[in-house]
Amino acid sequence: MGVAHPARGGDPAPRRHRRAPRQSVPPRRAGGAARAGPAPRAARRARAAAGLRPAARLAPRALRGRAGARGRDLRRRLDLEVVLKTLALVLVLCVVASAGAALAQNFGDADRYFGLEWTGGERRGRPNVNGYVVNNYRMRAANMRLLVESLDANGKTVDTTSGSVADVPPGGRVYFEVPVKQKASRYRVTITGWDWRDSGQ
C-alpha cells in the first residue's frame, strides 16, 4: 500500500508532537513546602535592616525606663518624708497638749481634788514639816509631789524643799513628812503634781 505525498495531491502526513523538556523541581521540605532558593541581595539587606531596628529602639526605651524608675524612687522618698514630718508634727502636738493638761491638773485643780493639813515639827532634833493629804476624788493619786516653802514673819519665802507621797487612795488620808534645813516662822505646802491611777492598780 502506497503513502500519499503532498506533492502528489494526497493527504498530508500526520505531525508528531514533541514533549517539552522536564524542568527540575526543587525538593520539598518536610510538610510539603518547597525550599526557597537563595534570597536576593535586596531582600537580605531588608531583613538585616529590619533586624537592626528593634535593637536601635531598645536604647530610648531603656533610658525612659531608667528615668521612670528614678522618678518613682523620688516620689517614694518625698512621700516618706511627708509621712515622717506629719508623724513628728502629730507627736509634738500630743506632747504640747499633754504638757498643757498636766499644768492645768497640777496647778489649777489640786485644791479641787485634794486637801492639805500641815504644821512645823522636828524628828530627832531636826526640823521638818509634817501633815496629811486627803484625796477627795474617786481615783487613786500616785507619785504626788509636794513643795514646802519656809516663810519669814513678813510672809516672804526664805527657803524651799521638795517632798513626795507615794500613794493616796480615793477618800484616803495619808501622812507626809518633809525635812527642812532650819525652822521658820511658818510654812506653806503646795501639791505640784501627781499621777492618776485606777483604784485596782
Total length of the chain: 201
Average pLDDT of the segment spanning 92-112: 59
* Same-domain check for residues 116 and 174: yes
Predicted local distance difference test score (pLDDT) of residue 56: 47
Q: Which amino acid is at 191?
A: I
pTM beyond 0.85: no
Task: Indicate whether 8 belongs to any domain.
Answer: no
3-state secondary structure of 35: coil
Does residue 79 sit in the same domain as residue 150? no
Condensed to tens digits (0 to 9), the pLDDT of residues 119-177 reads 999 999 999 999 999 999 999 999 999 999 999 999 999 999 999 999 999 999 999 99
Residue 106: Cβ within 10 Å count: 15
Print the domain residue range for 99. 47-108
> Looking at the 3D structure of the chain, how many domains does it have?
2
Cα distance between residue 193 and residue 106, in whole Å:
5
Cα gap 52→126, rounded to integer Å: 102
- H or E stretch at 36: none
* In a shared domain, residues 103 and 126: no
Please state the φ and ψ torsions of residue 198, each to the nearest 5 degrees. -65, 155
Residues 148 and 183 in one domain: yes
Give the helix/strand (H/E) hosting 15. none
Is residue 159 situated within a structural domain?
Answer: yes
**Distance (Å, whole) CA 68 – CA 55:** 20
Q: How does pLDDT run across 47-101, given as a tens digit for each residue?
A: 666 655 544 455 556 556 666 777 787 788 878 888 888 888 888 676 555 544 4
Amino acid, res. 33: A
